[in-house]
């Protein structure tokens, strides 16, 4: 009896691991203990072999080639794969042409993503039916009131210790839109804010790692030094900026209360 019980898990495991080409009763002359070929293991070996061949083909490529005239018709997954392959080629063959073509593709993808985000935001703002309906229970109302009161205390406390730096660029419509939000924030809370043109201060933009504008940073004076934390990229409304500042202070360890963080 013990031998049977020990054998059952092994049979179950074998059935889960792979499926024989034929069941024993369909091919009895081969015998119960005939060593069958495992289909799944063969498939895995074949997949690994194909992946290895694909990697070898990729390594042989020396030049990044982007089909710019066909990108608009390509599937997002195909574009993602193209970006990954182009990056690998550029890393293995870091010529200026390869890196430039790969970076150009990345910027094209970012531009599409930014346009989608803007239209998505516009749709949510202009179509109330698409917005997620909030459940205004007494508990939620009480939490909102608690956050508002604590927010006043926090912005008053850090008025002389913190500020906001925004990297902008001439001709950027999102920068112009966010400039109005920044003005409202400054007038409401009395914080220092500064807009820095990346064309005039490329050294500073490079130091902060700016790639998209407007690029928004919280700057905090602590222990005689200045620390900074990116709190967002792109235009945002006043309440979003306020929540982002709170989140930045939380990331810097100044705020411990997780209830103040809006998700």
- Per-residue pLDDT tens for 233-260? 889 999 999 999 999 999 899 988 888 8
Q: What is the pLDDT of residues 90-133, one digit of tens each?
A: 888 989 999 999 999 999 998 888 888 878 777 776 765 666 55
Q: What is the pLDDT of residues 184-234, one digit of tens each?
A: 999 999 999 999 999 999 999 999 999 889 999 999 999 889 999 999 988
CATH code for the domain of 247: 3.40.30.10
pLDDT at 134 over 60: no
Q: State how many domains the chain has.
A: 3
On average, the pLDDT of the chain sits at 79
pLDDT at position 145, please? 82
Q: Is 231 exposed, middle or buried (0-12, 13-18, 19+ CB in 10 A)?
A: buried
Residue 155 belongs to some domain of the structure: no
Q: Is 164 exposed, middle or buried (0-12, 13-18, 19+ CB in 10 A)?
A: buried
Residue 29 belongs to some domain of the structure: yes
pLDDT at position 259, please? 81
Q: Are residues 183 and 239 in the same domain?
A: yes
Domain range for 39 is: 1-60
Q: Are residues 56 and 71 in the same domain?
A: no
Mean pLDDT of 168-177: 93
pLDDT at position 260, please? 82
Grade residue 51 by pLDDT with cuts at 50, 70 and 90.
low
Lowest mean pLDDT among 75-84, 161-170, 189-198: 75-84
Q: Are residues 174 and 241 in the same domain?
A: yes
pLDDT at 179 over 50: yes
pLDDT at position 20, please? 46
Is the CA virtual torsion 134, 138, 142, 148 positive or negative?
positive
Q: Are residues 33 and 94 in the same domain?
A: no
pLDDT at position 140, please? 72
The CA distance from 46 to 123, in Å, is: 47
DSSP string, 106-152: HHHHHHHHHHHHHHHHHHHHH-GGGSPPP---HHHHHHHHHHHHHHH
Q: Are residues 168 and 237 in the same domain?
A: yes
Residue 224 belongs to some domain of the structure: yes
Q: Are residues 250 and 189 in the same domain?
A: yes
Q: Are residues 39 and 86 in the same domain?
A: no
Residue 148 belongs to some domain of the structure: no
Q: Are residues 191 and 248 in the same domain?
A: yes
Residue 136 belongs to some domain of the structure: no
The CA distance from 17 to 42, in Å, is: 12
Residue 51 belongs to some domain of the structure: yes
Residue 144 belongs to some domain of the structure: no
pLDDT at position 32, please? 43
Higher-pLDDT residue of 50 and 231 is: 231
Mean pLDDT of 27-36: 48
The CA distance from 203 to 221, in Å, is: 21
Q: Are residues 196 and 242 in the same domain?
A: yes
pLDDT at position 237, please? 92
- 225-232 contacts at long range (C-beta below 8 A, 24 or more positions apart): 227/252, 228/165
Residue 187 belongs to some domain of the structure: yes
Q: Are residues 170 and 108 in the same domain?
A: no
Q: Are residues 79 and 44 in the same domain?
A: no
87-123 in b/e form (b: 16+ CB < 10 A) is bbbbeeeeeeebbebbeebeeebeeeeeeeeeeeeee
């Amino acid at each position: 009896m013990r031998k049977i019980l020990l054998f059952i898990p092994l049979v179950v495991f074998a059935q889960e691991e792979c499926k024989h080409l034929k069941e024993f009763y369909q091919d009895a002359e081969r015998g119960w203990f005939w060593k069958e070929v495992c289909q799944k293991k063969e498939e895995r070996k074949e997949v690994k072999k194909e992946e290895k061949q694909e990697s070898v083909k990729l390594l042989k490529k020396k030049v990044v080639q982007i089909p710019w005239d066909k990108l608009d018709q390509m599937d997002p997954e195909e574009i993602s794969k193209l970006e990954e392959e182009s990056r690998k080629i550029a890393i293995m063959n870091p010529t200026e042409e390869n890196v430039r073509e790969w970076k150009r593709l990345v910027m094209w993808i970012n531009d599409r993503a930014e346009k989608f985000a803007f239209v998505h935001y516009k749709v949510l703002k202009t179509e109330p039916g698409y917005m997620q309906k909030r459940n205004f229970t007494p508990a939620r109302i009480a939490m909102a009131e608690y956050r508002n009161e604590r927010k006043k205390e926090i912005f008053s406390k850090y008025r002389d210790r913190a500020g906001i730096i925004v990297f902008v660029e001439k001709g950027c419509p999102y920068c112009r839109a966010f400039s109005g939000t920044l003005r409202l924030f400054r007038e409401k809370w009395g914080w220092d804010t500064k807009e820095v043109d990346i064309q005039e201060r490329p050294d500073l933009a490079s130091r902060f790692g700016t790639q998209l504008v407007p690029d928004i940073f919280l700057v905090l004076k602590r222990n005689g030094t200045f620390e900074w934390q990116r709190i967002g990229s792109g235009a945002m409304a006043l309440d979003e900026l306020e929540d982002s500042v709170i989140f930045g202070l939380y990331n810097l360890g100044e705020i411990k209360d997780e209830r103040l963080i809006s998700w």
